[in-house]
Amino acid sequence: MLAQYNLSRLIDRLEKEGLVRREAFAEDGRGRWVVITDAGRKLRERMWTVYARSIETHIGCKLAENEAKTIAGLLDRFL
């Protein structure tokens, strides 16, 4: 959904803020992992209080429990 150059700029900004760091991908030296830092985790935790309410208001209340479990199962495949 984002152009590669836009994503790279976003990651550059997050890295400058100390929220993520890049690590070499062991199987291919050209690749990089983007890893969230402790500071990034703390920010995510603070943000979640706002996002959790919004998600419940706009999405969660509109799904039956079995629908939410189905979506969670599908998203879990990405992990």
Question: What is the pLDDT confidence band of residue 78, given thresholds at 50, 70 and 90?
Answer: confident
Q: At 21, phi and psi to the nearest 5?
A: -140, 150
Residue 24 is predicted with a pLDDT of 87
pLDDT tens, residue by residue, 10-38: 999 999 999 999 998 877 777 888 999 99
pLDDT tens, residue by residue, 45-60: 999 988 998 988 888 8
Report the half-sphere exposure of 29 (CA within 13 A, side-chain side). 0
Report pTM: 0.63
> Which residues are CB-contacts of 10 (< 8 A; sequence separation ≥ 6)?
2
